[in-house]
Amino acid sequence: MLNYLAVNLKTHIGSLINSATEIRVRLGRPLTLRFFAQEVGVYMGKVCPLEAAYIASERDIAETLDRITEASLYAFREQFKQGFLMLPGGHRVGITGEVSLAESGVYMQRHISSLNIRLAKDVPGAAAFLYPHLSCGPKHTVVVGPPGSGKTTVLRDLVRFLSSSGLTVGLIDERGEIAASYKGLPGFAIGHTVDVLTGCPKREGFEILLRGMRPDVIATDEIGFGDDLESMKTASQMGVKVVATWHGTEPPKSFFEIGALLGPVPGTEPLFVGRLDS
């Protein structure tokens, strides 16, 4: 990941990147790293108070974006509309700045002022607390938690566990964070019996997998309700179980059989795991 950063940013972050979960680069403000729940300043490879941190420049942001996009921002215009860029390895770069508008909505961001580089990390066994609930076969399962609680990491490990149990899993990886596929090849070990749709919207993903791949389980990240619920119901009617994550602080009680509520810090004891009321 360091190779995507401007030279000055690399110098100040150094080996701290190995334990960080996010890199925050804000124009004219302190360079910071997030270590789970805490955001701290950095200077010459060391953690420091925000007042003493390196101040990110316009050149730092421009150079980093050039490295990420291989000096071709235009080629990434569709991702810019969504407010983030994806990198090999499942890393995700959030972007803010001035927004240009078109009839179709947000067209492009310019004068970029902030980058949030979310560092993807694989944690084998992250979903071990759920294995006993699925040992007799897959169930409709939802993993719930606030931002940064490890939902995607748990989901990835669940996909791996289900695959190791001999099940065929269809994975809708809408933002490329779960499998971290690059040119079709997953960057994380997700299992030998997993078929991945990268960058595909959920509704279309469900249709493709149900029509052509005959999965036992469909897994996807950050569902909503509405179209997503209709797609999940269709899958259920066809005998396919759904494993998903939900952004929130309480498991939704509709549709799902098993719910897991994560704490705000990855790796802490889940607040709730078990069957949901029907």
pLDDT at residue number 178: 93
Indicate if 155 and 95 belong to the same structural domain: no
Indicate if 109 and 146 belong to the same structural domain: no
DSSP assigned state of 51: G
Domain CATH number, residue 217: 3.40.50.300
| Residue 123 within a domain | no
**Domain closes at, from 100, 118, 136:** 118
Indicate if 29 and 96 belong to the same structural domain: yes
Query: Which of 209, 251, 254, 211 lies closest to 233, judged by CA?
Result: 254
Domain residues for the domain of 149 are: 128-275
| Residue 48 within a domain | yes
Q: Using one digit for the tens of pLDDT, what is the confidence trace for 106-154?
A: 555 678 899 999 998 889 999 999 999 999 999 999 999 988 888 999 9
pLDDT at residue number 108: 59
Task: Taking residues 236-265, report their average pLDDT.
Answer: 92
Indicate if 259 and 145 belong to the same structural domain: yes
Indicate if 252 and 170 belong to the same structural domain: yes
Indicate if 179 and 89 belong to the same structural domain: no
- Judged by phi (left if over 0) then psi (alpha if -120 to 50, else beta), residue 255 lies in left
Indicate if 103 and 137 belong to the same structural domain: no
pLDDT at residue number 148: 81
Indicate if 77 and 139 belong to the same structural domain: no
Indicate if 152 and 108 belong to the same structural domain: no
Residues shown for the chain: 278
Per-residue CA distances from 176 to 71, 114, 183 (Å): 22, 21, 11
Q: Is the pLDDT of residue 86 over 90?
A: no
- Cα–chain-centroid distance for residue 224? 15
CA–CA dist 43, 95 (Å, integer): 23
Contact present, 206 and 233 (Cβ < 8 Å): no
Indicate if 70 and 98 belong to the same structural domain: yes
pLDDT at residue number 71: 62
Give percent above pLDDT 90 in the chain: 63
φ, ψ (nearest 5 deg) of residue 217? -135, 140
Indicate if 113 and 133 belong to the same structural domain: no
pLDDT band at 195, cuts 50/70/90?
Answer: very high
| Predicted TM-score of the model (pTM) | 0.81
Q: Using one digit for the tens of pLDDT, what is the confidence trace for 23-61?
A: 999 999 999 999 877 899 999 999 999 999 999 999 999
Indicate if 151 and 262 belong to the same structural domain: yes
**Domain closes at, from 118, 146, 175:** 118
| Residue 203 within a domain | yes
